[in-house]
Amino acid sequence: MTTTTDQLRARAADTLWLRLAALGFPLLLPLLMIAPALWNGYPLLQWDTGGYLARWYEGYLVPSRSTVFGLYLHYGESFGFWINLAVQSLATLWLLQLTLRVLSMMQTFRFVAISGLLILSTALPWLASMLLTDIFAGLSILSLFLLVVGGPRTSTLEKISLFVFTAFAAATHSATLGVLLGLCVAGWMMRPFLRARLPFAGLVQASLTIVVGGLMLVSANHVLSGKWAWTPGGYGVAFGRMMQDGIVARFLNDRCPRENFKLCPYRNQLPATADEFLWGNSMFNTLGRFEGMNDEMGTIVVQSLADYPAWQAGAALKAMGQQLLHVATGEGTNGWIPHTRGIIERYIPSQIVPMRAGRQQNWGVDFEYVNWLHVPVALASMLALVGLLAHALARRRLDDLTLLAATVTLALLGNAFICAVISGPHDRYGARMVWVATFVVLMALARRFGDDAKAR
Pick from 418, 410, 419, 440: nearest CA to 183 = 410
pTM of the model: 0.90
Residue 1 confidence class, pLDDT cut points 50, 70, 90: very low
Of residues 152 and 12, more confidently modeled? 152
Q: Is the pLDDT of residue 435 over 50?
A: yes
Residue-wise pLDDT tens digits, 275-333: 888 878 889 999 988 888 888 998 999 999 999 999 988 988 999 999 999 999 999 99
DSSP state of 336: -
Residue 2 phi, psi dihedral angles, 5° rounding: -65, -40
Indicate the SS3 state at residue 44.
strand
**Cα dihedral: 65, 86, 381, 376 (round 10):** 80
- pLDDT confidence of residue 6: 62
Rg (CA), the chain: 24
Quote the CA–CA distance of 223 and 56 in Å, as a whole number.
10
List the alpha helices (DSSP H) in 34-107.
Answer: 35-40, 49-53, 55-58, 67-74, 82-102
CA distances 414 to 7, 275, 325, 338, Å, are 58, 22, 14, 32
Residue 230 confidence class, pLDDT cut points 50, 70, 90: confident
CA distances 227 to 42, 74, 406, Å, are 34, 20, 39
Pick from 206, 83, 199, 87: nearest CA to 142 = 206
| Percent of the chain scoring above 90 in pLDDT | 74
Average pLDDT, the chain: 91
Q: Is the pLDDT of residue 162 over 90?
A: yes
Residue-wise pLDDT tens digits, 382-393: 999 999 999 988
Residue range 15-28: average pLDDT?
59
List residues bridging with 44 in a β-sheet: 130
Residue range 368-373: average pLDDT?
96
Q: Is the pLDDT of residue 24 over 70?
A: no
In 241-264, which positions are buried (b, 16+ CB within 10 angstroms) versus exposed (e)? bbbbbebbbbbbeebeeeeebebe
- pLDDT confidence of residue 352: 96
Q: Is the pLDDT of residue 455 over 80?
A: no
Residue range 157-171: average pLDDT?
98
